[in-house]
Structure 1
Amino acid sequence: METWSLNHPEYGLIEVRVGFDRDFAAEDPSWPGDEADKPGTLATAESPLKERIKLWTKNPTERMEVRVNGEVQHRYNDVASARLPLFGDGPKGELETPAGLSTDRTKPHLKLRVSSFDELLSVEFREGDTVVEFDPPTGSRGAHRRETMQSSELKRTLIPMAEGLGKGGWALAVLVLGPIISRFIGWLVGFLPDWDLPDWQLPHMDLPVPSLPEFNLPMPDIDLPEFPEVPEWALWLLEYSKIWVPVVIGIVVGVVALRNHRRSEQEKAAWQQHQAGKTPETD
């Protein structure tokens, strides 16, 4: 089981726990999951791509639990990239779905980023303009991602940018590989025999068409101004909007991620100064 944690100066210890029904049921027999008899293994920072794919296909469904100061707030039936409210009504008879569509961004909530293999990569505490990053568990895929990003400012920008480009990668692949695939298909078609298909003729039918009255409306003679010719680059942008729009989104995601990291570090430093300035009398 993975446990992501953040010590908030007001709300206390916030935890996001990821595991399988078997892990949670071992701690709480009333856990509502229905796959407690199926063991699972989470990928680690050292797991190669082949092993990660195998775990993704063989593992049971990952579950998630959110706690504040040890009290359960939410229990989810899956791990997904979403914005989720921090506080809730506690344990229920069924697991929630991490949709997060109606999450109020002005109130305390969590923003999760999950990989394509259902691996939790990052967790952020958010409340209004406040953004603070959780500490990933040691040896997890999230810890590996953070260590890679902390190695340089360039990687901290490029990694979120690449993640933002992920949804538009198919469009870039079509643009680059499309001509190659087209030629390959044309080459294969050359080996197929020529078949003469029968010449099917449909019966001719004359249907009555009503004769509508003609209207001759006076049209004003207006001389429209001559518009400048549209440049080639503008026509290219219009034609390939599905290509460059994801690229722009990826760049924006990378810049915003770098800005949020700096805001997170500033907020954590402010929390530490606040805690250091406390005295027994003020507590």
Structure 2
Amino acid sequence: MKSLIASHLKPEFHPVALLRSDKRPEKALQPRPGKYCCIMSMFAQVTAKGKTAVFDRETFGCPGAVAGLGMGLAYPYAMGGSDTFEAFFSKGKESAKNPVAYQEIIDNAPGHMRNKLTIGERFHCTPEKARKWFSEDLPIHDFKEKYRIMKPLSEVTEQETPESIAFVVNPLQLSGLITLAGSIREGLLDIMAPQGGACQMIGTYVFAQAKADNPRPVLGFTDLAARKHTRMTIPDGHLTFAVPWKLFLQLEKEAEDGIFVSPLWQDLQ
């Protein structure tokens, strides 16, 4: 489909649609079963090169993407379970409830993970806060469809209904999108910027907003781990702005005669 918003933004990157389906697209990028990887590296190929990527419950990349893609929650079961992740997301080994067991996890991890496990990603100040984030705060969905598909919005057909639309934008483009969203939403706090994985910021957080009476866009790509895997394709000066489908349609309608036809926006082009 054509996007009026994209025609005004003229972004360097394809807007990306995230869909769920029981049919696997042909010639799609897909992680190998059991292969640990950041799926945002494939998102980067979709937004930068117009590729299509597909994931399922055997090819999800990492435990965070299980939640991100709406396939349940893997943290209690993967890599030693919740005790491992509450330490990993906070201060590493010094936060571990059982340092001996945690050290065994480190010793058996792939080489590129050992230092991060030891030091911790430090996304949360305490293991208790980290556990509360993934056990209570993170919205969890488990959709029945077999596949999750990322593809350029321009390739979405009339028969398809995406769950999420993500724009990869620079500061000026982001300013336009936030202004556009604020022009139709009631109240303040027109956008949310949650803690979590970059895939969760275009996935499960957006799925949760789809259920809200007054849904908000989700600002993303603030996940430093994902940045490491994508910065050769997506420059540091870009973020994601993701919205549920129903909000996207509202924004598309307002884009007909909203901020993008204002002299303010025109003067900046």
Q: Same fold (TM over 0.5)?
A: no
Instruction: Normalising by structure 2, report the TM-score.
Output: 0.25
Query: Whose radius of gyration is greater, 1 or 2?
Result: 1
From the two aligned structures, give the one with the greater helix fraction. 2
The alignment's TM-score, normalised by the length of structure 1, stands at 0.24
Structure with higher strand content: 1
Higher relative CO (Cα under 8 Å, sequence separation at least 6) belongs to 2
